[in-house]
Amino acid sequence: METLIMEKNKINELAKKVLDIEANSILKLKNNIGEDFDHAIDIIMNCKGRIIVTGMGKSGHIGRKIAATLTSTGTPSYFLHPAESTHGDSGIITRNDVVIAISNSGETQELLNLLPLIKRFGVPMIGMTGNMSSTLANASDAVLDVSVEREACPLNKAPTASTTATLAMGDALAVCLLENRGFTKEDFLLFHPSGALGKGFTYKVSDLMLTDTDKLPIAKESDSFANTIKLISEKKLGMAMIVNDKGVLTGVLTDGDIRRTLIKYENIRPLLARDVMSENPKRISKTDYGAAALHLMEKYSITTLAVVDENDKPIGVIHIHDLLKAGVA
């Protein structure tokens, strides 16, 4: 048993060492951000076509992820397998495109086989390599240095820290391009319409809220507490929106407020809605996204929100169940 515990301790220490090596590799990339990175951003921003990302082996897997991230953040990109490129797939490259070529050694033969075509078309190329004196680096218009001191692999052979560093550099590119393009969350969600994330921003509050006037639980501040309870029971939403004489929302009365009031007062008949309501309730506009409504509900542990117009007058109610039915929550 003691031997087994020691082995587990060694495993844990090795795992931590791997994470330290990879984390440090990423942090050291900050020293490599400079003119070439700026030039790479300029090249991509001026691209009239698409970004063609290519890489072999593990670099290829990282390249696919970089291409996917670029595409989802407003920079249309494709992945080209370098081994397939010399068998017809290189036809995907046009003179309006930009190539991002990934190779840790900078000497991957399948990748270098693409160079004549890239140069013949005059296509700008951004190299991502750990060898700044390599053929790839010398052939690139901009070179992103993704070199690492060592791999996390104890043998210093398996691509680990180097692939992590390359992926991080690709993310840095994508985020900077996103900012440069003024890419908004609305733009992002156009490419992510499925799932809770997309639905949360696809649906507006106006799409999901209850607007039927006859079903809205609206009471006046001067209404009796007893009558407001009756209203809540009739409308079956677990709350009432309380308004002043001008129809402006000033409070809400919830099931929780009712319980607290019944505990506090022996005689409830003299009480008015204004005496027991929760003031300054959370509210939302019909033009806000469903995700915003969900955020407020989760943050303040509530299940219902008043929907108000530009004059702060209630025009609807949105319930957590509405969000659940729509797949937002």
**Does 257 have pLDDT greater than 80?**
yes
**Does 160 have pLDDT greater than 60?**
yes
As a whole number, mean pLDDT of residues 237-241 equals 94
8 Å CB contact between 177 and 75: yes
The whole-angstrom separation of Cα 122 and Cα 104 is 24
**Does 113 have pLDDT greater than 70?**
yes
pLDDT digits (tens, 9 = 90+) for 161-201: 999 999 999 999 999 998 888 876 665 655 555 555 556 66
Q: Which domains does the chain have, with CATH numbers?
A: 2-183 (3.40.50.10490), 205-325 (3.10.580.10)
| CA of residue 213 relative to chain centroid, distance | 37
Contacts of 126 (CB under 8 A, 6+ apart): 40, 43, 44, 98, 99, 100, 101, 140, 141, 142, 143, 144
How far is CA 48 from each of CA 44, 77, 96, 130, rounded to the nearest angstrom?
9, 12, 5, 28
Q: What is the pLDDT of residue 16?
A: 93
As a whole number, mean pLDDT of residues 24-51 equals 96
Identify the CA nearest to 327 among candidates 284, 294, 282.
Answer: 294
Q: What is the pLDDT of residue 272?
A: 96
If one compares 21 and 91, the residue with the highest pLDDT of the two is 21
pLDDT digits (tens, 9 = 90+) for 289-302: 888 888 899 889 99
Report the chain's mean pLDDT, rounded to a whole number. 89
Strand order in the sheet with 125-129: 77-80, 51-55, 98-102, 125-129, 142-145
As a whole number, mean pLDDT of residues 76-81 equals 92
Task: Specify whether the backbone of 166 is left (phi greater than 0), alpha (psi in -120 to 50) or beta.
Answer: alpha
Contacts of 85 (CB under 8 A, 6+ apart): 54, 110, 113, 114, 117
